[in-house]
Amino acid sequence: MKKIIIVVSCLLLVLLLAQTGAAQERKAGLTGAAFLKIGVGARQVALGTATTALTGDVNQMFYNPAGIALKNEVLQASFTYNKWIADIGHNSAAVSYNFEDIGTVGVGFITFGISGIAADRDIPTDPALKPFQIETNTSSTYDYRDMAYQLTFSRYVMDNLALGVSVRGVTEEIDGLSTTAFALDFGSTYNIGVLDWVIAARFNNLGSDMKFYDIAFGLPLQFSIGTAMVPIKAGDSKIMVALDATKPQDGPLYFFSGAEYTFMDMFALRGGYKFNYSGTSETPGLGTLAVNSTIEGLSLGAGIQYELEGAGIIGVDYSYTQMNLLDNVHRFSLKFGMK
């Protein structure tokens, strides 16, 4: 009965979020620190970031902190390289360790930025305007760098229920000017006990505002619920499907979907897609125009892992993301696990 109540409650919450998202107007640009919206981990991105219900994966600290809880491994580590659009570097690293009687503790960071941007400075030559000058740097180039660093804790409070929390620091720096904020993530996962069916929820980026000069902006607050299950399993091969419903503060309700085919417990093929990013806008004089709130399209990926004589695993994951108008994006993740 308890399982039925949990499932029904989640379904009702999805319907409530759908109605709220349909009624709320789009509020693009309401939040800052946009790099926190970019997917982390090649496996997660290949699944269309339908990641809320994934478990036992160290990169889940960047999505649902409850998902890093370990049962069959003592340690996990991962590093992801991503050359984002416009040659911007987007890299991450994460490590988690399972303390048997306490829980799983993880640390991680994300870097995002580019150096050597040509500066077009507006420096007044009129002495009367000098007191009003804000621009003080004189170099011909400048750097842009964002960073997030965090501590995550998760544990199984019941055999099938894991809870997690992350404490995150966020910094943004451009041309020597910087700002800092702090945020919390909360998450949960529950394994229903059949078909490896997991339902989960997460709340991300609840924290302080960032501020440049006199302009303050919040972090990209969002709430997600998701589910994942393995409907087909035969021997050492299986198919996993996942679906997320995500409501960001500055957008409508989005749906993320993904599927993963694993065979020989060694190779994996993945695909994912995001829904509800396309809409319309009424523009005076132009009528109804199509509007897309993302340039991302289909995601695909693959992975391979090798067991180290029962001591652990080492593996590599790859993802490809189709981008409209801009160069497509390729991500690589190296992962290691110790039993």
Reported as a pLDDT band with limits 50, 70 and 90, residue 16 is very low
What pLDDT score was predicted for residue 21? Answer: 43
Residue range 265-271: average pLDDT?
A: 96
What pLDDT score was predicted for residue 52? Answer: 97
What pLDDT score was predicted for residue 280? Answer: 52
pLDDT tens for 281-291 read 555 555 555 55
Assigned token pair, 116: 């050597």
pLDDT above 50 (res 24): no
Between CA 86 and CA 200 the distance in angstroms is 35
pLDDT tens for 291-325 read 566 767 799 999 999 988 878 899 999 999 998 77
What pLDDT score was predicted for residue 326? Answer: 76
Q: 10 Å Cβ neighbour count for 326?
A: 11
Reported as a pLDDT band with limits 50, 70 and 90, residue 66 is very high
What pLDDT score was predicted for residue 27? Answer: 55
Burial of 68 (0-12, 13-18, 19+ CB in 10 A): buried
What pLDDT score was predicted for residue 4? Answer: 42
Between CA 332 and CA 317 the distance in angstroms is 6
What pLDDT score was predicted for residue 128? Answer: 72
CB distance 236 to 210 below 8 Å = no
Average the pLDDT over each of 50-64, 68-82, 114-128, 208-222 and give the range with the smallest value.
114-128
Assigned token pair, 231: 């409907």
What pLDDT score was predicted for residue 72? Answer: 79
What pLDDT score was predicted for residue 252? Answer: 86
Name the residue with tokens 């981990």.
41
pLDDT mean across residues, the chain: 86
**CATH number of 2-333: 3.40.50.2300, 3.30.1490.190, 3.40.50.10440, 2.40.160.60?**
2.40.160.60
- Distance of alpha carbon 202 from its chain centroid, rounded? 11
- Torsions phi, psi of 4, nearest 5? -65, -40
What pLDDT score was predicted for residue 2? Answer: 53
Burial of 246 (0-12, 13-18, 19+ CB in 10 A): buried
What pLDDT score was predicted for residue 139? Answer: 80
Between CA 145 and CA 178 the distance in angstroms is 9
Which residue intervals of the chain are DSSP H helices?
A: 2-23, 42-46
Q: Cβ neighbours of residue 86 under 8 Å, at least 6 residues apart? A: 114, 326
What pLDDT score was predicted for residue 7? Answer: 45
What pLDDT score was predicted for residue 73? Answer: 83
pLDDT above 80 (res 335): yes
**% of the chain with per-residue pLDDT over 90:** 61
Q: Which of 81, 45, 89 is nearest to 258 (CA)?
A: 45
What pLDDT score was predicted for residue 20? Answer: 44
What pLDDT score was predicted for residue 165? Answer: 98
pLDDT above 60 (res 6): no
Residue range 184-209: average pLDDT?
A: 96
- Pairwise pLDDT comparison (98 vs 85), residue with the higher score: 98
**Domain range summary for the chain, segments of one domain joined by +:** 2-333
CB distance 61 to 152 below 8 Å = yes
pLDDT tens for 28-62 read 567 889 999 999 999 999 999 999 999 999 999 99
The whole-model pTM stands at: 0.85
